[in-house]
Structure 1
Amino acid sequence: MTDRHLIVGAGPVGRHVAQLLAARGSEVVVATRSGTDTGIDGVTHLKLDASDAEALSAAAEGTTVLYNCANPSDYTTWGEFWPPLAAAFLVAAERSGAVYAITGNLYPYGPVDKPMSEDMPDAATDHKGRLRAAMWAEAKALHDAGRIRAVEIRGSDYVGTGVGGNGHVTRQIPGALKGKRAWVFNRKDIPHTFTDVLDTARLLIAAAEDEAAHGRVWHVPSNPPRTQEQAITEVLTSIGKPAVGVSEVPKPVFVALSWVVPLIRELRQLSYQWTAPYVLDDRAAREHFGMEPTPWDEVCRRSAVV
């Protein structure tokens, strides 16, 4: 039986998926625009514009699973980046017959007033949330029509190996290791779920390979929520480093920055995630897959590597 996997994207999730698959002896191809070499033994690397449906379909021919682990390097370009890429994935999945496994996020839910479970509606009103919700809705419609096999997993903000400057907690660690005060956006004392990027990869593979899991969203098993202050402190403590002060960027400064810095403007639209409890309900995936999150202490130690 063919055991060939095409991973689009070489960020933290894509790399972890590639490592896990290669370690078990699967044939693994990682495709990126630049042909980035992940340095993982046994992995083939392909230079590919995945938004080109013809090129992606050709690369996906004979593939068991097509993984969408892509993410734009520029957070402000989602509107241009995602639509053609999402459309190309659907074409490639239908032509190749490969399972389409999507790395999603929690943006489609929008602001919430209770722990997020998979049966909640995708009710976001901001453009990023609506975009991600539409991507899954289109994939699910084709799945329900019997034209593709699709599944999406959703995790909260990433921690763990390789997240670095892309994580709300991990971007604070280099300075904190030098004893510098950490400055966080919005509230530092609100419970927030953080998801290990390795657990994300584990669930993505498991969901892709389980026919009974297809056609729906699954939440990545994650550790109990922490505040931003707790998470930063516990990452430092895990490697024997002293805690540092954690302060909130004053709201007027945050608002002012959003007018002149495009990235901050984008983050401000999602600030609801950090002004009220933002908690993931992962019971369905724990029960279905028999999967538990990596112990928090281990996640913290890996998050401390910069």
Structure 2
Amino acid sequence: MTTHVVLGSTGVVGRETVAALRAGGHEVRAVSRTASGSASASPEPGITPVAADLRDAASAAAALAGADVAYVTVGLPYTAAAWRRDWPVIVQNAVDGCLAAGARLVYFDNVYAYGPVEGPMTESTPIRPTSRKGAVRADVLQLLESARDDRGLDLTIGRAADFYGPGASTSVFNMFVIDRVAAGKPPMWMFDATLPHSITYTPDIGAGLAVLGTDDRARGRTWHLPTAPALTGDEYLGLATGGRLPHRTMSMGTMRLGSLFASGARESLEMAYQYTAPYLFDSSAFEREFGVAPTPYAEGIAESLRYAEALRYAEAHRNG
């Protein structure tokens, strides 16, 4: 029996990866900071919750012992300081644990290390970060590639664009569009709603990572995970509102003003280039190789709204 270990199993990408692996009949070791976060009180069949601090080498090694395939889906606080401090440590510990176990490593990545790109982003787009977070991501990629080239790490990388989906609480699209529409508020887009902007559906990310960990055709390469052709901000907002609500566009001036008072706005400002030019993500190589089609935006947005509305309903009734 192949042992699949999902590191960061309680984040949205980790949850979707666990779900996709279980749907394929695979046994999963779900690793999180606290085993209770992996539903240890009533674990689902085929899922073994494990608590580990991946910043600690011994803890990470214990979580990876006996693994055949490991998936790095860890999320960190959205600050450059936290990323610089923790990303290299977590990834180094995952590399060492996988090498000790003889495990294949599937690393989930974003596009920050590309920096601004003219035209569609593909797997051959050069790594040219212009942001602090992008520089951290680029450094981690170098760490992984060195482990592959010098130490024989069996490495596969799956990369996604900005993401959205049911329960994707850290997604910009969820925060500014899905959650606001579910609350009856006008959704917002950043800077220019006439530009196309790719977003990847989180269940497609999980399903894609599961493919990368179970299909030998994926081994040793970087893949862009299935992502539908980009729409414009106006088109996404139209799908989310069905024409029932107006929408607003956040100006650069508003973002700069907000950055004086809100750490989240400060951390997001360096990534503003993603919303001031076309942001196009090409996943055609994955789709052709594995015969997988991305979820249409109308379907993904509708499901994300249903989830958000159900959550609001449950919270309202729980609070009386």
Q: TM-score, normalised by structure 2?
A: 0.88
Corresponding residue for residue 259 of structure 1: 260
Shift of 1:40: 6.2
SS of corresponding position for 2:146: helix
Is it true that 1:47 corresponds to 2:48 in the alignment? no
Deviates more, 1:79-88 or 1:176-185: 176-185
- CA RMSD in angstroms comes to 1.8
Structure 1 pair 17–178 and aligned structure 2 pair: CA distance change class (3 A): closer
Distance 1:150 1:112 in 2: 25
Which contiguous aligned blocks of 4+ residues in structure 1 show a shift greater than 6 angstroms?
Answer: none
Corresponding residue for residue 118 of structure 1: 123
Corresponding residue for residue 87 of structure 1: 92
Structure 1 pair 257–159 and aligned structure 2 pair: CA distance change class (3 A): same
Distance 1:78 1:25 in 2: 34
Structure 1 pair 254–266 and aligned structure 2 pair: CA distance change class (3 A): same
Structure 1 pair 236–245 and aligned structure 2 pair: CA distance change class (3 A): closer
Structure 1 pair 62–32 and aligned structure 2 pair: CA distance change class (3 A): same
Query: Counterpart amino acid of 2:5?
Result: L
Corresponding residue for residue 139 of structure 2: 134
Shift of 1:74: 4.3
Deviations 1:126-167 (A, max 9, x none): 111111122122212222335210111111111222213x22
SS of corresponding position for 2:163: strand
SS of corresponding position for 1:169: helix
Taking the TM superposition and a 5 Å limit, the aligned residue runs for 1:161-240 are 161-164=166-169, 166-171=170-175, 172-237=177-242
Distance 2:34 2:151 in 1: 34
Shift of 1:292: 1.2
SS of corresponding position for 1:248: strand
Contact 1:183 1:247 in 2 (8 A): yes
Corresponding residue for residue 155 of structure 1: 160
Deviates more, 1:190-199 or 1:55-64: 55-64
SS of corresponding position for 1:133: helix
Contact 2:67 2:98 in 1 (8 A): no
Query: Counterpart amino acid of 1:294?
Result: T
Deviations 1:256-287 (A, max 9, x none): 21133221111110000001000011121112
Distance 1:292 1:226 in 2: 16
Structure 1 pair 45–73 and aligned structure 2 pair: CA distance change class (3 A): farther
- Structure 1 gap segments, 5+ residues each: none
Corresponding residue for residue 60 of structure 1: 64
Shift of 1:174: 2.9
Corresponding residue for residue 21 of structure 2: 21
Identity over aligned residues, as a percent?
27
SS of corresponding position for 2:159: strand
Query: Counterpart amino acid of 1:97?
Result: G
SS of corresponding position for 1:41: coil
Deviates more, 1:18-27 or 1:264-273: 18-27
Contact 1:28 1:44 in 2 (8 A): yes
